[in-house]
Structure 1
Amino acid sequence: MVQFAAELRELRRAAGGPSYRDLAARAHYSVATLSSAAAGQRLPSLEVTRGYVGACGGDVERWEAFWHTTAAAVALAEDPADDAAPPPDQDDSPYPGLASFGSRHSRFFFGRERVVEQLRRRLTDQRFIALFGASGAGKSSVLDAGLSPYLRAEDRAVITLTPGVRPLEELAVRLAGHGATTPGRLLEELRADPGNLHLLLRQIVAEEPGRDEVILIVDQFEELFTLCSRREERDHFIEALLLAARAENSACRIVLGVRADFYARCIAHAALARTLDAAMVTLGPMDSEELHRAICRPAEAVGCRVEGRLLAYLIAQAQDSAGTLPLLSHALRETWRHRRGTLLTMDACRSAGSIEHALTRTAERFYQALSPRQREAARHLFLRLVTVGEGIEYSKCRIDRSELPPDPGTVAIVERATAERLITVDGQHLDLTHEALIRWWPRLGGWLAEGRELLRTRRQLTEAAATWAHLEQDPGALLRGARLEAARPLARAEEAGLTAREREFLEASLAAKSADRTAANRRERLRRLLIAASAVLLAISLATSVLAMHADREATAQRDEAVAHNASTAATALARRSPGLATQIALAAYRLQPSQYSRDALLSTLMSTWTAHRAEMYAMDISPDGGILATAGWDRTVRLWDLRTARYPRRTAVLTGHRDAVYAVAMHPHRPVLASAGADGSLILWDITDPYWPHRLATLRTHMKTVRALAFSPSGQTLVSAGSDGNVVLWNTRSVSKPVRGVSLPGHQDEVRSVAFSADGRLLASAGGGDERVILWDTTSPAHPVERADWQAHSTTALSVAFNPRTGVLATSGGGDRPVKLWRVAGTHHPVLLAALDGPTDVVGSVAFSPDGRLLTAGSDDRTARIWRVPPHGWPRREAVLTGFSTAVLGLRFTPDGKQVVTGVFDGTTHTLPADFGQALAHACSYAGQPLTHEQWRRYLNKVSYRQPC
């Protein structure tokens, strides 16, 4: 409101600063009215604003939009819930607004008579029909205000329900009263046998003389897929409906109301798909005649009329667009509020905000209700739904669902925008409900103004990426030349909002250009070398020729080294999307030049990969028998995986119970018990005796905001938790179903990021994150721990601790030039630094030893996983560096038998690799895919003679 007044004053100044007396003569408003409009104490009326702007020579239409936006913001600030509740003077309105027509509005429901009649005829001939229509097309109105009143007028029994979260329970509640039974008993019967619904309906009909059937209307049938998470209950519900309708002595007729974009989900059920073949009725947009009735007849029913100009405007806005019907009703409802007498006029519609401004207010309310992360996702979504014209115009753009990230957050935003009628979903396609949103929603306009060229370039990138994917990632479809240079900034712009496919396509294009440049430079260097060698051969004697031959061999060796290095790099980049090809390339490079780099690249391609979480993953642990892997992450779940087939692990269960991200998991050393904790401050113990049906043993409050670390003692009788408050808490877990909180160990000035026990359980180490310190505790008596040592282990941060199970040496990791260090801590109060290891170029968040203590692993934020061999005496030496990860590595764990190493990555992926690297390299051909073609060989190993590695 203050900004609005300031803009009015600026408009007056730009007009030459006329006096308010002059403005009053031009605008036909008093001096006091105009001066108070620019004072900023309250928002002036729309009419006063028009007069003020017109007197100053401003753009009246633009200022109308500005006024409506400001009015919406003021209303939201004064009462955020104002839009949700209808004003008291609207109870007599013949238009329901954004809500659907209910049974109490049936006398005002017009325009869909043809569809209602079609449903009535089909229902006479068939016992099962389904009404399909786009979001906002008016399916619920047709069923509630059109079909249901007609059927009840014929004295037919009509029962209406929506599936909700528990469809069988909803069915039991709605039918129990008609069948002289209780909802609980009926629910048990429906779960036991879906055919009991048919028997109940026959009983209802038998107890009501004069009726031979029940009409069961299931509206919003898509809730069966969006709200009901149990597939068994969903299948029972569908089966019950089908059995009741198809029985020879059926006592019911069934009508479904389904959103069109859920057709694919419906036909995934075989029996329902067969039934829908002859049961579908489609609900499309209204034509002009139907719109005329829908607009005028409700007003006529209460003795009012619609002005011709208003009627023409509304029909033009709503024709051929099913999704705008709620917006049309909303605009008419607001116009009804601003009517004068019995006439609904265009001026009243403008004062109410018309369709465009009603949509703007709804859009802003939708946006303000989102979290910061959701707002960013919503911005990318709406920008994808707009295309940039050749001039300065924008228009809405119909997109495919495949253009959107498949994460649950984006799906939820689409559902909310659809519910608010901002987006129309039709099958696999999404579209803006109305193009007026582009012009009249200032926030969307601001987004478009900020990134017009970026938006145009991204649309071109989207289309090119789709073509590339359609051609099975043909290298010839990659961007080249000027188009690639135009798209290059998108790779660095966080606000670009690229999908995984688009980013992969752009990175492949950039990598191809880099490879072309490298190959050209290599050819140029080789050409110059050959010219020099030729000159020498022509100028010198036989002895010089011998030297030239030696130089040629050196050049060949250098060439082979360069080719092997480049091929190894390309192989790790290909590993995720084409593992077989990546292994063939890496194996060829290793055979050509068996260096440490090519060996590491080959090992990286031999990892088997699967997605454990669709969001960030934070922790993992392996059961003592090596059969179960537990992973946890941002999606608030803990997931269990069967590791008995290491290359193809299978998920056995998803544990839900935490209300926020899960940061830590720990396996009991002797019992099938798993502990988990995270950002909600709770600690949960799970019984995983049957990994397919785990259950909760205990839920504990740790009294800290976030738990970052968990560890069981080797005996399993003590569990340690630590986190945001800087304390380390010991729990007595002799009874895993009733753990008892023990002592709390203070000492850290920052949140504790890691805890670990020594192999004999006498020592407990903790790493204090930002305070850079590691504290060592003597826990010989868990009830009375004693601090043994406290020292600064790293220069920037201390993130992880781990004991060698054989020697008792403590490994720590964090930041600084030497992010991994080994300490002798046994028998001393002053730890002695044994080794400081370099290699990682970023902080190391996790260290771990192999079961035999001979290998040390480190997961780093530089997207590498490093493994050192640790001799009993002497300096550790590098064993392998695994690469090709898309994000930071959260950690590595060995299976208890030491045969497999499991790597977890923050992007939610998990990787397994045989721990015997020599054996893995020897059997690399068994993991490789199809042999390299000549074309592939020329692309990745140019200038080297073709020879199959396997």
Structure 2
Amino acid sequence: MDRSPDPSPEPEPGGGATAREEFAAELTRLREKAGLTVRTLAARVESPGAHTTIGGWFAGQSLPSISSLPLFRRVLDELGVAGPAETGRWLERLADLRRTRTPRAARGVVPYRGLAGFEEHHADWFFGRDRLRDVVVERLLAHGAGFPHLLVGASGSGKSSLLRAGVLPALRGAHGFVPCLITPGRAPATTLSRAVAALTAGPGTTHGADGPGTTHGADGPGATHEVDGPDAARAVDGPDAARAVDGLERWAEREGVRVLVAVDQFEEVFTTCKEPAERDRFLRRLAALPSSRVHVVGALRADFYAPALQEPALATALQRGQIVVGALTPEEIRSAVHGPAAKAGLTVDEGFADVLAADLRDSGVGGLPLLSHALLSTWERGRGAVLTLADYRAGGGMSAAVSASAEEAYAELTEGQRALARTLFLRMVAVGDGVPDTRRVLPLPGPAAAPADGSLDDRAAQVYEVLEWFVDRRLVTLDGDGARITHEALLTAWPRLHGWIEEDRSGHLVRQDLTRDAERWRSADEEPSLLYRGTRLALAARWAERSAGAHELTGPEAAFLAASRTAEEQRARRDRRHTRRLRQLLALLTVLATVAGGLATVALVQRRDAEQQRRVALSRLVAARSERLRGSDLALAAQLSLVAYRTAPTAEARAALTDVSALPAVTRLLAFRGVVQAVALSPDGRTLAAAGLDRTVALWDLRDAARPRRLDTPSPAFADTVYALAFSPDGRLLAAGAGDGTVRVWEPPGPTTAPGGALPSGSVAPTAAIGGQGGAVLRGPASAVYGLAFAPDGGSLAAASADGGGPGGAHRCLGPAGGHPAAGLPRGGAGGRAQPGRPHPRR
């Protein structure tokens, strides 16, 4: 989309059209380009009844008021003004026009800023700080990669103007820096992350005439990318915002630029930010930024030097990167006076600058806003092309110019408007508790939720009317979605405002806490635990009653205080009810104690009966379960019958126990985790052998059949599953056949071993004599051995395997000589099948 016409500064004198006419002409060009009539445009912004108001803007008959800013934003959007940056430029131009209420200001350029600070696009009108600007630029270029730098000076010493209109344009124009300007606000770490994320996101970054990486902000063409407290809420958000800070250097390296992160109003870290964790997170991120591609500079009021030294990151910056912003020299004052005048085609009375220098010294180190306002007042009062001492004196001079302007505006208000002005100005002041007073943003009522026709309720309309009165006189400026005092010099230069602050400083602190806590309560979905109670509620309520503060409360504050009072009253009523109930309960305790004693006796008897019935029922249930298990698990059935009888000696339990006692005893042995494939009992019945899928043979001592004991003896290692076991007739030898066709014979330890380990005559040689520790290994079958049997004399061993061509397998008789087959049965063939398990007669 094509860029909208640049709402550039006011035309030079003699250019013909006034600034308002130029503004209206540019709006008209946008409307004609969009092909819209005024009525069509009014309908598209859903405000058909406001076509007369909108038509006045296009005709140059009127300017959008503060209360109609939401409607003006919608009009710009329909006219194709793309993005918040372009919209911000139009709003800044509108603000400049609204300040030019004197006939002289309306006809030409305004050479002086008054209490308003200089922005980057005012660089051509910024005079008097050339030497200090060059020093700051030189220091940043030389040491900016190592640590942050701080411009430290008194309030009103020109720190912000030096940073915005001096340092930023110099680094951008001559050295290719991309500025990223922020003011900390209530959440400085979040503000920094969002500003960097917005800068590196891409759409707002250009490489045009304003320099590489320019992100046009709300201050006009070529402005830095700026995010302050209110605007931060609309900036890039999410987890990527925090990661963007860590990746800023990589982004600058990739884009081939250098970034200057500039933090104006650094003292807001201590005044506006109330969360220590948020402050610490911001300072740590800022301290980690300096590199060859990223430099950091900030502007800090000297009043907050001591709190800054308490922060390690700031202490390092103050020690190594501090740049003092002191008072102007006489030559610099002369430049600040004559430079803008010459650029505007004006001349200055001889000696005027010297008088200003003398008055500035009397005003103190923070008098630059007073100087600028006095120059503006002198220019506005003049008629010709000369700035005269007479006009300067008529405006009240240096010390009274600001006060005179404020009192002049205040005097033109009605009594109701004056009371409202007092409330609004006090809400734009952050009263310090042990720290200097500062200005703060006052959220504007209504615009965020304004109706489609731009109308507001009576209270909001009155607020806008009063604010507009002071905005037009440059005493108040719009800041995002709020308004703030143009400069903190007004806090002391206007005696009336200073008196408002001092007459009830403690009450203002209570109000500030109430404002903050009401906002937190509303943000937390009206969490009851955040309401005031006790002493805090009493202080807030006393302040509201004593100072008529109830009339100054905003809707959220009034709701918060009312909710706190309601909760406290409900709590008091609950306490009174609780006390009455306690007294009633005490009266009943005696009766209850008597009744409880009798009921306890009855309860004990009933409990004993119920317990007995429960045991009887449980005994019968367990006895029935024992009966059902008798056919499948005799051991468990016997145990359950005993449990049933011990629980309660019912007839069912006795019958189950008697039935199980008549059956042989069964003991379950858990031999292996897998399937048991073979079991063998020694001839004397004292040893049981079992084998299975785990390729081992386990032995049990059965001399106590009720409590078999497993013998902890190592089993020979088998290469495959053991499928067959057999004891010799005398019980001294044990043979095992495995799935790989091997047969092992060994003398198992335990009850079957005779003293001295002697073997019967003619038996198979055991372990050490033939096979070592693993016993004798007899080979012959070519596949799995499924059956084994010793001859009655123990001299031969028969093995049944799966050999042969038929499914029946084959039998082999293994003799004592080396384990070779002694004889073989006929293999199953086409006409016959061997019968496994039947011995083959000897030949």
Q: TM-score, normalised by structure 1?
A: 0.34
> Which structure: greater strand fraction?
1
Give the number of the structure whose alpha-carbon radius of gyration is greater: 2
If the length of structure 2 is used for normalisation, what is the TM-score? Answer: 0.38
